[in-house]
Amino acid sequence: MLTLFVSFHTLAGSKANANSYEMDYIKIPTLEPIPRSWIPPSLLQDTNNLLKTYIIENGKSMTKSDGILVNTLESIEQSSLLALNGGKVIEGLPLVTAIGLLPPLYFEDHQPLAWLDDQPAGSVVYVSFGSRTAITREQLRELGNGLLGSGCGFVWVVKDKKVDREDGKELVDVIGDELMERVKEKGMVVKHWVNQESILKHPAVGGFLSHCGWNSVTEAMWHGVHVLAWPQHGDQKINADLVERIGLGTWEKSWSWGGGEIVMREQIAEKIKEVMGNKLLRSQAMRIREEARNGIELGRGSKKGLTELIKMLKKERS
């Protein structure tokens, strides 16, 4: 996503890329083409809008900075980092340093939901689409029935309003009386903020149905929880592609994003069963977890990146 962010101001005005705006992809030098359907629609409009203006102006400003720090693992995004630091994406860009995965900071003692303590190890799917994404009530009810149909235990965080707004509606008003009663048999549904880190690290959690916001992706990597990606907007399709490429999870690309066509309960149930039963995905997620943690303990990854940054800053100040 950073490669798109820093180069978009050149792509938007490039004759070489003019055709790609009318075709099915956007081409960034040295990297694989990005499908047009993965790009936020507002960036592809002919007229300027708030998001497009923001990305163009900030992309230009990044070339004037002293460095760019990214919360990612160097080993999983080598090609992008090499392209950015080799001047292939845009000339004049400062050094881009991978300093992730940054470990969670447990400054408060948050207890996970007590319900999880009674569930078998790896049996529960955690379902959350972040604090900035709302799903239609029709889709919420299909999702709830899909979770029940999967036969898996679940912790489901329901959000009914976009961004960080609260709507004052009770949970039963959102998902309905009948579904509210049925979900009690297999899972737990909440309509308030939960500590996601505490849930993902709980041994009962064996999968994550996620919108693939970057924070959620890095938290899943840190805790070794494999992902069923259902991106909704913004950078999330690009993140979902990374999740699939590195083996952290799977992405059902036919599922709509941003309130499009309703995904039916049967599809959801089948996909959750498939992902929760996939031992290969589980082992790959644990491999990524160990790689992230070893990077800190053995002086690689984030520790190496931060150490190099400190040396550079000391040198400039001396």
* pTM for the model: 0.88
Q: What is the CATH number of domain 2-98?
A: 3.40.50.2000
- Fill in the DSSP letter of residue 254: T
**CA 309 to mean position of chain CA atoms:** 26
Q: Where are the domains of the chain?
A: 2-98, 114-291
Look at residue 1 and tell me whether its pLDDT is greater than 60. Answer: yes
Residue 298: per-residue pLDDT: 59
Contacts of 212 (CB under 8 A, 6+ apart): 227, 229, 230, 231, 236, 237, 239, 240, 243
Euclidean distance between CA atoms 194 and 199, whole angstroms: 8
CATH superfamily for domain 114-291 = Glycogen Phosphorylase B; (3.40.50.2000)
Per-residue model confidence as pLDDT tens digits over 276-316: 999 999 999 999 999 888 866 655 666 777 787 788 788 87
Residue 112: per-residue pLDDT: 60
Look at residue 220 and tell me whether its pLDDT is greater than 50. Answer: yes
Look at residue 101 and tell me whether its pLDDT is greater than 80. Answer: yes
Instruction: Report whether 200 contacts 225 (CB < 8 A).
Output: yes
Kindly report the average pLDDT of the chain as a whole number.
85
Instruction: Report whether 12 contacts 56 (CB < 8 A).
Output: yes
Look at residue 124 and tell me whether its pLDDT is greater than 90. Answer: yes
Residue 277: per-residue pLDDT: 94
Question: Percentage of the chain with pLDDT > 70?
Answer: 88
Instruction: Report whether 186 contacts 154 (CB < 8 A).
Output: yes
Average pLDDT over every residue of 154-176: 73
Write out the E strands in 27-67: 34-35
Average pLDDT over every residue of 96-106: 81
Q: What is the DSSP string of 60-80?
A: HHHTTSS-EEE-S-GGGSHHH
Q: Which residue has the higher pLDDT, 281 or 176?
A: 281
Tokens of 76: 């999983």
Write out the E strands in 256-296: none
Residue 264: per-residue pLDDT: 96
Q: What is the DSSP string of 179-201?
A: HHHHHTTTEEEE-S---HHHHHT
With bands split at pLDDT 50, 70 and 90, how would you rate the model's confidence at 192? confident
User: Cα dihedral sign for 199, 203, 209, 212?
Assistant: positive
Instruction: Report whether 158 contacts 140 (CB < 8 A).
Output: yes
Let me know if 103 is exposed, middle or buried by CB neighbors in 10 A (0-12, 13-18, 19+): exposed
Instruction: Please confirm whether the linkage preceding 81 is cis (ω < 30° from 0).
Output: no
Give the pairing type, strands 34-35 and 25-26.
Answer: antiparallel
Report the SS3 class of residue 206. Answer: strand
Q: Which residue has the higher pLDDT, 23 or 211?
A: 211
Residue 214: per-residue pLDDT: 95
Average pLDDT over every residue of 184-207: 90
Contacts of 32 (CB under 8 A, 6+ apart): none
Residue 206: per-residue pLDDT: 96
Per-residue model confidence as pLDDT tens digits over 77-95: 989 999 999 998 998 899 9
Look at residue 16 and tell me whether its pLDDT is greater than 70. Answer: no
Report the SS3 class of residue 124. Answer: strand
Matching fold, domains 2-98 and 114-291? yes
Euclidean distance between CA atoms 239 and 241, whole angstroms: 5
Give the pairing type, strands 34-35 and 68-70.
Answer: unpaired
Residue 20: per-residue pLDDT: 47
Report the SS3 class of residue 156. Answer: strand
- Residue 72: name the closest of 230, 310, 225, 246 by CA: 246
With bands split at pLDDT 50, 70 and 90, how would you rate the model's confidence at 18? very low
